[in-house]
Amino acid sequence: MSRHRHSAYSRGPQERSIGGMMITFIGLVIVTGGFIIAWLFLADRDLLFATPQQVASPDAAPVLARYRFDTAELVAPTRLVTRVNRRTLGNIVKLDLLLPWPYQPGSIPRLPETSREFNDWIILTFETATRDELTPVERYGEIYPVYFDGEPEQVDGNLLRYKFKGTSPYADLTLFVATVEGRHIVHRCDRKPSVLGPILCERTLSLANNMKLRVRFSRSHLENWAQIERNVRLALANMFRTIQPG
């Protein structure tokens, strides 16, 4: 009996030690979870505190949030932001935003619900540029000519249309190029409809601080590319600014 009592007593401190370790572990999980939430929403705190009605309702006042990249930040209505990709416990690396066409600061219409409605929206994708990545303009000068199928054709919008050979890696694209004050402005257009509905054209803009912007819009608006670009730059002036890393 005394041996049994001694054995039970000897296990007491060990059991208390295990219980203390479990409490410590649970505490660490809670603290770590709180840290992660604080990190993710520190720059986007309006997303954390906005009500679902504020975010989703087309009639509610726009809720602005601050989206931070390594070297830039975007202040935009949460209703227009459709996708955010970020590093684990880090800043954003890619963000998709819908911009109405034509864009008017302070006016945000109802988001598109059908493929036809996407015809009048511009898709902006902000992302950190990849080092040594060739721009479409550089590809136009160095790579694309190898795969062109004949001479270009003049089309509406003061654009030259280049078709690619059917056996080339770019057979699913058509290239449209404008030249303004000696600068080439390159649009790559799909030949097939996108999952969103319309056939999309894409223009890539280089932004400051190693950022780039992909601008996609319906092929039916290609001849208005200059007005679309003015709209996009107006939106950038209202939403985008560079910051110091850190």
Residue carrying the six token digits 């209202």: 238
The DSSP bridge partners found for residue 101 are: none
The model's pTM is 0.74
In this prediction, residue 107 carries a pLDDT of 73
When pLDDT is averaged across residues 102-106 and rounded to a whole number, the result is 77
Cβ contacts of 152 within 8 Å, gap of 6 or more: 160, 161, 162, 177
User: Is the pLDDT confidence value at 8 over 80?
Assistant: no
Domain ranges of the chain: 64-242
Cβ contacts of 98 within 8 Å, gap of 6 or more: 80, 82, 111, 112, 121, 122, 123, 124
User: Is the pLDDT confidence value at 48 over 90?
Assistant: no
User: Is the pLDDT confidence value at 5 over 50?
Assistant: no
In this prediction, residue 237 carries a pLDDT of 93
What phi, psi does 15 have (nearest 5°)?
A: -65, -40
| First-residue to last-residue Cα distance in the chain | 67
Chain segment 134-173, per-residue pLDDT in tens: 999 999 999 999 999 999 999 999 999 999 999 999 999 9
Chain segment 66-103, per-residue pLDDT in tens: 999 999 999 998 989 999 999 887 899 999 999 988 88
Work out whether the CA dihedral 127, 218, 180, 233 comes out positive or negative.
Answer: negative
**Closest Cα to residue 126, out of 11, 241, 5, 246?**
241
What phi, psi does 101 have (nearest 5°)?
A: -120, 120
